[in-house]
Structure 1
Amino acid sequence: MEAGDCSYQFRIALLGDAAVGKTSLLRRYVAGAPGAPEPEPDPDPEPTVGVEVYRRALQLRAGPRVKLCITRSFYRNVVGVLLVFDVTNRKSFEHIQDWHQEVMATQGPDKAIFLLVGHKSDLQTTRCVSAQEAEELAASLGMAFMETSAKSNSNVDLAFDTLANAIQQALQRGDIKLEEHWGGVRLIHKTHTSRSPSKKQHPGPCQC
């Protein structure tokens, strides 16, 4: 699926403590896109620094195709946030509320859709945060919860797809509105509609 086929662009951030696996989740998700090249490896195993943006086009369940622009760093202009903790790292779980409060303070209460993600679910023998406890935290913060594992490719696509579909539903309800100077959601204007499926459409103003 090409970016030029997309109707909307959603800007999404993965937030959480260092070493919870945000980069692994991103690379697994982008590598899973049809026809996608293998993402380039990190130059070193140190905690990620920088604002690299990953992109993937997605067909929503009941709606248009969208382009996801995903970063591991915090942006003001984000419409979706995956709050990620490591199920084997108690501190990373305890810090989730701090990450949530930071987004709410900077972004505003009506601008972001959240999903709580418990990563490294394949490490069952060393986990120290139960699914029930995480579900209770998610419910108290008004968001859904999902466990993932980039290593075993468990629920990685589902986590991003769930967040994207929730954003689309919020748009349809009017809970989130397109605003000219806000980049969390952008409408991609198509210059023309090709009648031939073999013709490539111009990508349009789809840059992150």
Structure 2
Amino acid sequence: MIHNTEQSKIIKVVQIGNIYVGKSSLYLRYHQGEFIDNPNYIDFYNKIINLAEKQITFQFWDYRSNEKFFSLSHYFYNQSSIVMISYDITNRQSFDRVQFWFEDYNQKKQNKVALLVLIGNKYDLEQQRKVSQKEGKQLANSLGMLFFEVSSKTGYQVNELFESLISYAINVN
């Protein structure tokens, strides 16, 4: 959900996907500018970005993909203006579950429409790739999603991903 005041916007972003695809590490790479291997789970945090005369507050929610939190997914989906679905490019099963996460979002969103972004993480492990970039792009296109491949470890395309989200946030009324 995007909340506007005269000089600021609050953008709520949720990231979903299988466990161990690097969701928390991606947030931490962007937020702190460094890679943290096996971070403690992050539930929520803010990042404030000042652009010209506007202040944008990104509220990141790392939706844990386990049964304990599954019943809360409708809350996360309906409060978010950006939904990021992540998979690990070295793990075919995590890619195969993207459709599940997409359908779960669509079933629970209650007519809320968010920007959907498909993220292939762990680009630094290119030599161990099990999911081609072409497959990721095709799936994203078929689901009407933006697509990025990133590396939380090296920072590859992380800033570009979040710059796109910032651009979206600025241009949304």
- Tell me which interval the TM-score lies in, with the shorter structure as reference length: 0.7 to 0.9
The aligned length equals: 156
RMSD in angstroms over aligned alpha carbons? Answer: 2.7
SS at match of 1:12: strand
Pairing partner for 2:87 from 71, 80, 85 = 85
Relative distance call for 1:68 and 1:144 in structure 2 (3 A) is same
CA contact (8 A) 2:17 2:86 kept: yes
> 1:116-195 residue pairs with structure 2 within 5 A?
116-169=118-171, 171-172=172-173
Residue in 2 that maps onto 1:176 = none
1:161 Cα offset (Å): 2.3
1:117 Cα offset (Å): 0.5
CA contact (8 A) 1:113 1:167 kept: no
| Partner deviation per Cα, 1:70-100 (whole Å, 9 max, x = no partner) | 0111413111011100000001111111111
In structure 1, stretches of 5+ residues that fail to align are: 173-208
SS at match of 1:18: coil
Residue in 2 that maps onto 1:20 = 21
1:7 Cα offset (Å): 0.5
Distance 1:17 1:115 in 2: 15
Q: Which amino acid aligns with 1:27?
A: L
In structure 2, stretches of 5+ residues that fail to align are: 1-5, 64-72
Relative distance call for 1:114 and 1:167 in structure 2 (3 A) is farther
Relative distance call for 1:79 and 1:18 in structure 2 (3 A) is same
1:155 Cα offset (Å): 1.2
TM-score, normalised to structure 1, is 0.67
CA contact (8 A) 2:119 2:150 kept: yes
Distance 1:57 1:146 in 2: 23
Instruction: Name which structure has the greater RCO, CA cutoff 8 Å, separation 6+.
Output: 1
1:165 Cα offset (Å): 2.0
> 1:91-130 residue pairs with structure 2 within 5 A?
91-130=93-132
Give the share of equivalent positions with the same residue, in percent: 29
Residue in 1 that maps onto 2:30 = 29
Say yes or no: does 1:55 pair with 2:46.
yes
Distance 1:121 1:166 in 2: 24
Distance 2:137 2:107 in 1: 23
CA contact (8 A) 1:87 1:120 kept: yes
Higher strand share: 2
Pairing partner for 1:70 from 40, 54, 60 = 60
Residue in 2 that maps onto 1:202 = none
Relative distance call for 1:108 and 1:161 in structure 2 (3 A) is farther
TM-score, normalised to structure 2, is 0.79
SS at match of 2:124: coil
Q: Report which of the two structures shows the higher radius of gyration computed on alpha carbons.
A: 1
| Partner deviation per Cα, 1:20-71 (whole Å, 9 max, x = no partner) | 00011011111039xxxx99x845xxxx4xx6212112246x9933100001
Relative distance call for 1:63 and 1:128 in structure 2 (3 A) is farther
